[in-house]
Structure 1
Amino acid sequence: MKIATYNVNGVNGRLPVLLRWLNETAPDVACLQELKAPQEKFPEQAIADAGYEAIWHGQKSWNGVAILSRIGKPVEICRVLPGDAEDMHSRYIEAMVNGITIGCLYLPNGNPAPGLKYDYKLNWFERLHQHAKQLLAKGTPVVLTGDYNVMPTEMDVYKPESWKDDALFRPEVREAFKNLVDQGWTDAIRKLYPNEKIYTFWDYFRNAFARNAGLRIDHFLLSPQLDGRLKAGGVDKDVRGWEKSSDHAPVWIQLAD
């Protein structure tokens, strides 16, 4: 079972890129972030024509998450991260696919830090901690994947010294990610490539992609039931170089049946 995550940075504006990637790589499940489209503007028919059934939670101009599957329609569990009834951001959706609970998330950026946006990020992280803990307690296979907006270690960022005050790399955020993993989750890509520089995002500015000046901020966390089933994974880096592509590249893992 191949599962992928991809921050598309605008599902309609980059639809040709998304459809080409789905056709060329054929993930069984694809989790998308930053749809930047209201609920009624999601390109459901184009996705269906590509062979995928989908559930999504859109939001005008910002945020938005979706789960696509070509192995049976995702059975929605929830479309809001529990813990704050007043949070209207479309940043989380969870479904059951082929016996696996899949949470697709778009964690807040948090800049500028310190500030209200940074506080929101840390609060969102705390809500994720609590929900993840409850998911683990069920003892069933779970994947939490998406754009975490966190570089966990210095290995995950080009020139870490220049990011020390950024909300994606501040000590509190890195500690929050570590505490999440320490609940019992496996950082799938880092397990597969423990000593390699791997990036999933390259800024549009300063020729970042050509210089490989990137960040690893898109992650897969696996529950213990899936740790032994992890067989392969990687980043479809070439997609980042396609015309009118997102500033993220798709990331994927392969699980044994």
Structure 2
Amino acid sequence: MKIATYNINGINGRLPVLLQWLKIASPDVVCLQELKAPDEKFPEQALLEAGYHSIWHGEKSWNGVAILSRYGEIKETRRGLDGDPEDLHSRYIEAFINGVVIGCLYLPNGNPCPGPKFDYKLKWIKRFSKHAKKLQSFDLPVALIGDYNIIPTDLDTYKPEKYVENALFRPEVRKQFSSLKKTGWVDALRKLYPGQRVYTFWDYLRHAFDRNAGLRLDHFLLNDSLSSRLKAAGVDKEVRGWPHSSDHAPVWILLDEL
């Protein structure tokens, strides 16, 4: 079972890139973030023609999440998080696919920091962590996948000193990510590449991709029953270099079948 995540950064404007990558990489399940499209503008038919069923929670602005599957129609189990009825942003969607609970998330950026956006980020992580704890009680394989907008350690950025005041790298955020992992979640890429600089994002500015001035923002957190099936993982870095591509590259894991 091959599961991927991709912050598409505007699904309709980058639909040709997405379709080309799907054809080449052939993932079984894909989590998408930053759709930048309301529900009625989601390209469901184009993805069906490519062999993927979809569920999505769209939003016109910077948000929006979706899950694609080659296993047929998807059983959606949740959209949004509990804890704040006034938070209507499209940042979380969850499904049960081929025996696995898959949560697709787009965690708030939080900049500028300090400020209201950073406070919202911290509150959102706490709400997400509470839901993740609930998922740990399930006797099912679970994967929490997406753009966490968190640089977990110095190893996950080309230049740690540059991001000291950035919301993605603040000690409060890194501590919450570390605390989340300690409740029983395995960081899939870090498990397989414990000492390597593996990046998933390169800024559009200052030729960041050409210089490999990257960050690791896109993460797979797996519970114990799923992490035991982890076989391989990687980043399709070349996609970031395609014309009109997102500033993120697709990231994937390969799981042994039951």
TM category (shorter chain) comes to: over 0.9
Please report how far the alpha carbon of residue 25 of structure 1 lies from its aligned counterpart in structure 2 after TM superposition. 0.3
2:195 alignment partner in structure 1: 195
Q: Name the amino acid aligned to 1:73.
A: E
**Matched-pair identity in %:** 67
RMSD (CA atoms):
0.5
1:221 alignment partner in structure 2: 221
Please report how far the alpha carbon of residue 203 of structure 1 lies from its aligned counterpart in structure 2 after TM superposition. 0.1
Query: SS state of the match for residue 129, structure 2?
Result: helix
Q: Is the 8 A contact 1:76 1:96 kept in 2?
A: yes
Q: Name the amino acid aligned to 1:67.
A: I
2:204 alignment partner in structure 1: 204
The reply to whether residue 135 of structure 1 matches residue 135 of structure 2 is yes
Matching of residues 26-37 of structure 1 within 5 Å: 26-37=26-37
Query: SS state of the match for residue 210, structure 2?
Result: helix
Query: SS state of the match for residue 61, structure 1?
Result: coil
Please report how far the alpha carbon of residue 71 of structure 1 lies from its aligned counterpart in structure 2 after TM superposition. 1.2
Q: CA offsets, 1:212-257, max 9 Å, x none?
A: 0000000000011111100000000000000000000000000000
The reply to whether residue 94 of structure 1 matches residue 60 of structure 2 is no
1:70 alignment partner in structure 2: 70
Please report how far the alpha carbon of residue 83 of structure 1 lies from its aligned counterpart in structure 2 after TM superposition. 1.5
1:52 alignment partner in structure 2: 52
The CA distance in 1 between the partners of 2:78 and 2:228, in whole Å, is 27
Question: Structure 1: where are the runs of 5+ without partners?
Answer: none
| Matched positions, count | 257
Q: CA offsets, 1:104-147, max 9 Å, x none?
A: 00000000111000000000000011000000011311000000
Please report how far the alpha carbon of residue 62 of structure 1 lies from its aligned counterpart in structure 2 after TM superposition. 2.0
Question: Structure 2: where are the runs of 5+ without partners?
Answer: none
1:22 alignment partner in structure 2: 22
Q: CA offsets, 1:67-96, max 9 Å, x none?
A: 000012220001111211110100000000
The CA distance in 2 between the partners of 1:244 and 1:89, in whole Å, is 26
Q: CA offsets, 1:9-62, max 9 Å, x none?
A: 000000000000000000000000000000000000000000000000000122
Q: Is the 8 A contact 1:239 1:249 kept in 2?
A: yes
Q: Name the amino acid aligned to 1:167.
A: A
Alignment TM-score, normalising by the size of structure 2? 0.99
2:120 alignment partner in structure 1: 120
Q: Is the 8 A contact 1:72 1:98 kept in 2?
A: no
